[in-house]
Chains A and B, each alone.
Chain A
């Protein structure tokens, strides 16, 4: 495949050749809904760690979709590359980050019930919404995202498009939450709903990308020495906020689930 395709922004390629988006989707590479799409095709395919035969076939099909009349040679397979491990084995620090996602996803799961509740209430329950904002800012952002930004992402090329997409997601999430706070202060239910649901959609995709693609990709690049260092740095970051903080936020989620999971099951 020529470098012109490999080194072109993926969104530009998909916009021009929608079939490429459909092919990527078939291989579980979800670039079509990505809000940024500035990664290069070569980066996008490389990060998914497909086995050599699958990757060669994928690139062949993409090239054929772009240049249907071109005589393209059969895919060449690099047999020296190790095949993909099906089960993801995270290093310990990264595994802890994946486990933190679980608590965040428990809040995301309740957001539709929370926005329904806000809509049907006479007045905006400010304590409820600001409690969610506090969880998102204190746990999801400060406790969790900061470990990514200050520690984990330093182990790869931070200027790379893939990491830049993650930074952009974090920033978009912060903007949604600013809008939620503004809506809460002014009693604007539509604004709260729009931005809480927007945050939910963003973080759902963001967490999926990290758990399934980004974290395994970073782990594959780490030496054992770096795995040890990363673990100690993340442990030190956790220790600096104390054990009470994650416990407090877990209790907040449990209490919220008591209220909203009951509402759902009624």
Chain B
């Protein structure tokens, strides 16, 4: 498996010694909607109206320890996998509808560092290109071990 694509290459981080701070107590979920999968959501749902939206690759919240606190809080969300999901032209239309019909304020696309994940950014850009309204779009790239590799407006 070691020579296969970076998106599915086997890697083991279990030897990591730095486990971070030991936390106690329970954290509140910052999720304020259901559903979240991009095929399942209606782009005109009330929770999208004029909101800041996260479009997140499926793997991101597993890698990013503080996803709820640092990114999801105060935002609405849709998730998808640009490598495995089918009918992604539907995704493009839904992004367009989010921008034009739900008049979302910003779109933040969070992807993993693996090359196939950049397909989600292409989906977002294609939807934004088809939309009449223009909005700021941000790209956040997350490393396999949960670090933020880049965060920029595109």
Contacts and interface: CB of A to CB of B under 8 A. Distances in A.
B137 to A, nearest CB: 8
B135 A231 contact: yes
Interface in A169-205: none
Given A91-B153, A92-B153, A228 B136 contact: yes
A232 B152 CA distance: 19
Contact of B106 (A89, A95, A227): A227
Given A91-B136, A92-B136, A235-B134, A228 B106 contact: yes
B135 A224 contact: no
A37 B135 CA distance: 37
B97 interface: no
B136 A227 contact: yes
Interface string B119-140: 0000000000000001110100
Contact of B153 (A90, A229, A232, A235): A90
Contacts of B106: 224-225, 227-228
A153 to B, nearest CB: 19
Given A92-B153, A95-B153, A224 B108 contact: yes
How would you classify the secondary structure of chain A's contact residues: helix, strand, loop or mixed? helix
Interface in B48-101: 52, 74-75
B52 A224 contact: yes
B41 to A, nearest CB: 20
Given A89-B152, A92-B153, A225 B134 contact: no
A106 to B, nearest CB: 25
Given A225-B105, A227-B106, 18 more contacts: A89-B152, A90-B153, A92-B134, A92-B136, A92-B153, A93-B136, A95-B153, A224-B75, A224-B105, A224-B106, A224-B138, A225-B74, A225-B106, A227-B136, A227-B153, A228-B105, A228-B106, A231-B136
7 contacts: A89-B153, A92-B153, A224-B75, A227-B106, A228-B52, A228-B105, A229-B105
